[in-house]
Amino acid sequence: MTDIRLPGGRWRLWEQFALRGPGFPAGGVLRLAPPGLAAAADKFSHGERPAGERWDDFARLYADAAVETSHALQDIARDPAFREAVAWQNRPVLDSGIKPFLNWTPTAAGRTSMPRQREELVAHYWQRFCVKNDTIGFFGPVGWGRWDPHTDGVEVDTGRGLVAGFEVYWAGWAVDALAATIGADPALREWTAPRRVPFVRLDGARVTVPGRPPRTVDEDTAAVLARCDGVRTAREIAAALPRTDVPAVLEDLVARRWAVWRLEVPAGTHPDRSLRAWLERVGDTEARRRALDALEALERRRARVRDARGADALVTALTELEEEFTALTETAAVREKSAGTAPCRALVYSDCRRAATTRLGPAVRDALAPLEPLLTSAGWLTARLADAVMARAKQVYRGLAAQGPVDLAAFWFACMPVLHGDAPAAAAEIQRDFQERWREILAPPAGARRVRLQLEDVAGLVRERFGGPGGGWTAARYISPDIMIAADEAEAVARGDFELVLGELHLAANTLGASLFVHQHPDPGELTALTDRDHPGPRLMPLLPKEHRSRLSARIRHALVRPRDHQVALLDFTADPARPRTVNSADVAVRERDDGELAVVLPDGAEFAAVDVFSHVLTTLAMDLFRVLPETAHSPRITVDRLVVARETWRIPAGAADFAAEKDEARRFVRARHWREETGLPRFVFVASPAEPRPFYVDFDSPVYVNVLAKALRRLARKDPDGQVVVTEMLPTPEQTWLTDDEGRSYTSELRFVAVADTGNTKKG
């Protein structure tokens, strides 16, 4: 394997990386900026209330440009690929918004409220499809790249077309709903394997639940509960205990919440395959056939979705799938959006592999050198977080240990106040300390818009302020940075005419291990081999819920779990119970080592640092902590050598943008241009608002995107008069695109790397 090291030798980059980018060319958004309109608007001076003949001329120019933009948006809305992308995102919009918009004839007088709303609807989807580096479906396909010492700069192999591979996957919740329907068949009850709840401990005839005194149960109950391993079916347990009314005991165990006795599908990318594998083991021929018929009926519908081409065919196939699903399960085919709902609300989703691949050479590797101090400081951050949480956890452990041996279930529940109270408070304090140290290093002058530093100056100061061991837990050895290359074309990189831009820095996570990346790799075994290099021995990994709000779903579930790795169920048992090296928290012991660190001991004697039990909680806490600058009204662009480590950013009260309340569109456009100049904003920005689901692109030369911004500002001002939007310069801009397809069209993009710290410089488990 190629050894790609950052300066200092502590951080190594994976030799493969993900290429993320949208499925529509970047130039698409520029179609919505009418030539000459911005220049004409800028002829009106600040504070001027335009009137008279000069204003009338501009108003006519604006009206003509608005109609021209309406036609452009209709051309976009007619595009089969656009309509198909919208069908995947929000199918009802095609009938409620896109169809009536296409049936409308644009005129200046006819641009009333509803047509303008539909213009903005199309423009909103269009910006996402053209300039947002999302990863979903064919409008955000997963691409791949490698390091190549023989490449000058960046080399793109466009492949053929946009997409090289495509698949439609079941949402886990949909298969769970089908499993619940199938499992309700009384004939299948005895073929279902009950399992003990992970935090329920059984010791002979004593049953212990965290926070409650132990209970002694009768011989039959103990014998049945001991066999509830999620593998042995109720039928097999009954055969082993012929003198026991096993079904009655199981029902009692379920009522006590000591056991689960229902058809469960393990979490994974292919839950349908797991359900089918279980059904094929059912010995009741008729019951098995009924259940398989239901599954196969839905599988046929999913196949039609996969084979559908074009929006109309896709809509028909999705509608038929939903009708079949609702008829079989009596469950709504689309989940309501809520704070507790994971991203996939539909029955199925699609993921694709990009046809284009890329290779990077030494020029880019060398330009990444400033990542090293950033990663070092991130390692300091995660190590301090782990220290703070584990210091409090040790106090909890010692209190429990004073009463006798401690199992992981009792320890985990006793640590809940730490994880949900002390830990977030500690994280906030650590972040303040982190930012203060970086402020001293960067020392941006007051009012500066551009700060340029040399790596040699930054690196030494980082070693002083963030020196020492980093990491904190096993997953914290990983950091996944998103890097964008600002270059007019691939050849410009070889000439040295480029700059790198840091996007997000994903702490304590190998994000390329997520299912959406792993299963769009041409050879997932290569990713496993890279993981083996990082972790020659087994890891301890807590089992996670199937879904949790926006940060956990089947698509982003970690898929690089190897047979050698141990998994421990704390609350949710979401793995295959038959998988070796999967244990319940109640069966794991916690002890204090001679060095004062806490360890967990598994039933087979394997021992790991207890901090790894908290890895998901710690990673969740850490993921939003990395900000080198505090949240101020304005922060400058900071560049270290060739790497922009912070883009210029503004935090603006929604009520301060008075142009947003202007009712006349032409005047609003002129006032927005003046406001942009007064504020110092560039032409292209991304805006994040607490009242919007995700950041959106704005081009101040485009009337429709100015209107989108104005509406977002008004919405936030109504919701929260003190609310602020965060405005960040778009860098690279739509013109700085080097990724092309086989037809020469260019796309925005970012590269997601995996950086791993050598174990010699991290705390060992």
Task: Please write the tens of the pLDDT for every residue from 506-554.
Answer: 999 999 999 999 999 999 999 999 999 999 999 999 999 988 754 668 8
Based on the number of CB atoms within 10 Å of its own CB, is 381 exposed (0-12), middle (13-18) or buried (19 or more)?
A: buried
Give the whole-number percent of the chain exceeding pLDDT 70: 97
CA dihedral for 691, 697, 700, 706, sign (positive or negative): negative
3-state helix, strand and coil shares in percent for the chain, rounded to the nearest 5: 45, 20, 35
Q: Rounded to whole angstroms, what are the CA distances from 138 to 21, 24, 87, 141, 307?
A: 10, 9, 12, 5, 14
Q: Where residue 760 falls among pLDDT bands split at 50, 70, 90?
A: low
Backbone φ, ψ for residue 751 (5° rounding): -110, 125
Give the integer Cα–Cα distance in Å for 494 and 748: 19
Residue 707 has pLDDT above 50, yes or no: yes
Cis peptide leading into 732, omega within 30 of 0? Answer: yes
pLDDT of residue 343: 55
How far does Cα 387 stand from its chain's mean position? Answer: 26
Give ∠ CA 544-548-554 in degrees, rounded to 5.
Answer: 70
Structure tokens at 558: 């970690």
User: What is the per-residue pLDDT across 329-347, written as a single tens digit (0 to 9) for each?
Assistant: 999 998 876 544 445 689 9
Q: Do the Cβ atoms of 344 and 554 come closer than 8 Å?
A: yes
Higher pLDDT among residues 50 and 395, named by residue? 395
Joined tokens for residue 688 = 């994040």
15-47: pLDDT as tens digits:
999 999 999 999 999 999 999 999 999 999 887
DSSP 8-state class, residue 759? G
Q: Hey, how many other C-beta atoms are within 10 angstroms of the C-beta on 117?
A: 13
pLDDT value of residue 339: 44
Residues 675, 680, 685, 687, CA torsion sign: negative
Closest CA to 746 of 14, 8, 51, 22: 22
pTM of this prediction exceeds 0.75: yes
State the Cα–Cα distance between residues 425 and 574, nearest whole angstrom: 30
Dist. CA 622–CA 614, nearest whole Å: 12
C-alpha to C-alpha distance for 409 and 208, rounded to whole angstroms: 10
CA angle 511, 514, 516 (to 5 degrees): 120
Q: Where are the beta strands (DSSP E) in 336-465?
A: 348-360, 406-407, 450-453
pLDDT at 762: 39
